[in-house]
Amino acid sequence: MRRLYWLFVFCAVTVVFNACYNNSVRKIPVISFFKTPEKTAFHISPNGQYISYLKLYQNKLNIFVQNIVDGKESRITSFADYPVKDYFWSLNNELVFNKDLTDLNQYQLFALNMQDMKPKKLLSLSKVRLRLLSRNQADKDWINIVMNKRDSATFDVYNLNVQTGELKLYIKNPGNITEWYPASEGTIRLAKASDGVNETILFRQDDAHPFKPIISNNFRNSVTPVAFTQAGGNHFYALSNLNRDKMALVEIDAVTGKEVKMILDQKTADIGEVNYSRSKHRLDMVGWEEAKPKHVFLNKEMMGIYDDLSQLLPDQEIKIIDRDTSENKLLISTYTDRSPGSVYLYAADSKKLTKLTDFNTDIKPEEMCAMKPISYKARDGLLINGYLTLPQTPYQNDLPVVVMPHGGPWSRNSWGYNAEVQFLANRGYAVFQMNYRGSTGYGKAFKSAGFKEVGGKMQQDITDGVKWLIANNIANPKKIAIYGNGFGGFSALYGISFNPGLYQCAVVQYGLINFFTYIKDVPPFLKPYLSMTYEMVGNPEKDADMLRAISPVFHTDKIKAPLLIFQGAKDPRANISELNQFVRDLRSRDVSVKYVLKENERYFFKNENNRLEMYGEIENFLESNLKNKK
């Protein structure tokens, strides 16, 4: 009896202690995690006189500019109907920006000079995609853009005069070019062609010469040009995994297509980032991702800048996000796993660092949770890496867990601040992210291991990770949810369909439910990649049985767990009528489904009210179906 008495006292004290501890963790409002940043998309003008950024005006993102000399802020655009989607500076120091008129499926392109500050409409295009390719050093009024104006399936290169709006076809795409690579002076001398399975790098000496193939390889290998080693030269830097497993930084002779020098490689990861100075024609920094970001500097000047910044900004990940033409004024961004970070202006000559803004002043690092790198073995012995974020609770065992497989699937999770992860951890959930086979950054053998395994070993890797959490007493086996978007949404649906009892509920954002329609309805400009998709995912004709076996739309009878689904009606990859029928089928089988369809959203919910509503729904859904379950 005495032992039972003290056991009862111990349990009572533990309950009280946990209650007090949980009350000490502030429940941070949803809006603090997911509100539109006060300022975002920072750039610096080529002449170094202005800092520009997007900022809310009448609840829409507009361009603002700050004078570096006096610090005065000016609002450059005043759109109240649709926000500025993105923008850049031309070399003549004009702002060029576009609006996405979602309701009309139309893009508008404008230019504005800093003298009269009057927007000039350059282009107004329906159902056309465009992006900046390069700026012309010889004639700074001209830029090069790529768009599928002539043919929705192919992207041609156009010259656009930002003063007059004159548009000229520069290079007509023969139909198989998937990428164009400009030289530092702005001309296009390298391109990549694809037949869907094989890729070819093409080179031309100048505008007067035709493109000629110099490197051909299967899509499992990759050569991605970075920059020419010098103006007018014939050697270029590239990221390549030809004749090696991991992506390396190399130098290639454009005339022969031969690799002449291996500059840097890593045995553990792909080289993924190259910081190159186009005005000084030099390599500055190379980066890659292991458990956390790594980098190395390739000249003393840049090493000195980063050494100085590391002393001024200790324990921060530091990135140069933009620089003026003289490369004296640099825009710097920082972050950690517990902080979305800040933006600074750094003057290299004076070593002066000026803070411009915090990305989110509501987020206090001490209230956030550490993202810890982890690894485990899949059932076939393959090592899988990932991240585990534990909530601030006194006991780190037997926790409710949200499993978050990444989208893509040919992408990866990375170490750093993630608003969704921190939101869930703040609500008391452990968050588990894994880089299943097929994820990028680990070499081509690891990526290739995911081919034709989207509904096989990729999903087994996720399941094996969940079982690892249970075996290590991290997860409460009766309180596990799975949550993803895009391909991650498919993984969530697959998980509750084919692993009954493993997950108590699932959250799906913009999820893939049918591989047949996903492949059949591919937008015209992605059709060059169809053959590659057949090799990596599956061929709707040859692999029909496999695709049917894994597509959730054909297995509504297997889904029993509660579902929360979000979808934008303007998502170009979504088949809304099919998704509506999928939801009806589930409800006819008495499956609990909350379905939120937003008419004026595309892939992600950009409207702040829609976004806040979504995460509020997620919080309530998980609270009801996970945390409060006995």
Count how many residues are written for the chain.
630
With b for 16 or more beta-carbon neighbours within 10 A and e for fewer, the 240-276 pattern comes to: bbbeebbbbbbbbebeebebeeeeebbeebbbbbbbb
Residue 391: what residue type? P
Mean confidence (pLDDT) of the chain: 91
- The vertex-46 CA angle with 44 and 49, nearest 5°, equals 65
Please list, in sequence order, all residues whose beta carbon lies within 8 angstroms of the beta carbon of residue 199, skipping any fewer than 6 positions away: 178, 192, 193, 216, 217, 218, 219, 221, 222, 223
What separation in angstroms does the CA of 623 have from each of 350, 627, 628?
A: 53, 5, 6
SS3 breakdown of the chain: % helix, strand, coil, rounded to 5? 25, 35, 40
The pLDDT value recorded for residue 18 is: 44
Residue 491 is predicted with a pLDDT of 97
If one counts every other C-beta atom within 10 angstroms of the C-beta of residue 596, the result is 15
Summarize pLDDT for 274-295 with one digit per residue, the tens: 999 988 889 999 999 999 999 9
**C-alpha separations of 439 from 54, 273, 375, 444 in Å:** 32, 17, 14, 10
Instruction: Please tell me the distance from the alpha carbon of residue 400 to that of residue 110, in angstroms, as a whole number.
Output: 49
Mean pLDDT, the chain cut into blocks of 10 residues (630 residues total): 46 42 78 93 96 93 94 93 91 90 82 90 87 87 93 92 94 94 91 91 95 94 94 93 97 97 96 91 94 94 95 96 94 97 96 96 97 98 98 93 96 97 98 98 97 97 98 97 95 96 96 90 75 90 95 95 93 86 96 93 86 96 85
Contacts of 319 (CB under 8 A, 6+ apart): 332, 333, 334
Residue 512, phi then psi, degrees to nearest 5: -95, 120
Longest dimension (CA), the chain: 97
Helix axis angle, 457-471 relative to 487-498, nearest 10°? 70
Domains of the chain as residue ranges with CATH: 2-32+371-627 (3.40.50.1820)
Match 């004078």 to its residue by tokens: 67
My answer on whether omega of the bond before 394 falls inside 30° of 0, hence cis, is no
- SS3 of 532, please? helix
HSE-CB of 238 using CA atoms within 13 angstroms = 26
Helical H segments across 392-486, by residue range: 419-426, 444-448, 457-471
The Cα–Cα gap between 241 and 155 comes to 26
- pLDDT digit string (tens) for 479-494? 999 999 999 999 999 9
CA–CA dist 610, 21 (Å, integer): 33
Q: Are strands 563-568 and 593-598 parallel, antiparallel or unpaired?
A: parallel
Nearest Cα residue to 482 out of 605, 473, 469 = 469
Residue 21 has a pLDDT of 43
SS (H, E, C) 76-105: CCCCCCCCEEEEEECCCCCEEEEEEEHHHC
- pLDDT of 136 reads 86
Query: What is the distance between the alpha carbons of residues 465 and 104, in angstroms, rounded to a whole number?
Result: 44
State the residue for tokens 């140069």.
Answer: 320
User: Rounded to whole angstroms, what are the CA distances from 522 to 146, 486, 515, 572?
Assistant: 20, 14, 11, 9
The span from the CA of 458 to the CA of 378, in Å, is: 10
CA distances from 390 to 281, 337, 370, 590 (A): 45, 12, 7, 34
Report phi then psi at 279, rounded to 5. -80, -30
Strand blocks (E) in 233-378: 235-240, 248-253, 259-264, 271-277, 282-289, 293-297, 317-323, 329-335, 342-347, 352-358, 371-377
Query: Of 332, 334, 340, nearest to 316 (Cα)?
Result: 334
Are 222 and 247 in contact, with CB atoms under 8 Å apart?
A: yes
pLDDT tens by residue, 388-429: 999 999 889 999 999 999 998 999 999 999 999 999 999 999
Please report, in angstroms and rounded to a whole number, the separation of the first and last CA atoms in the chain: 28
Q: Determine the Cα–Cα distance for residues 603 and 572; give it in Å rounded to an integer.
A: 8
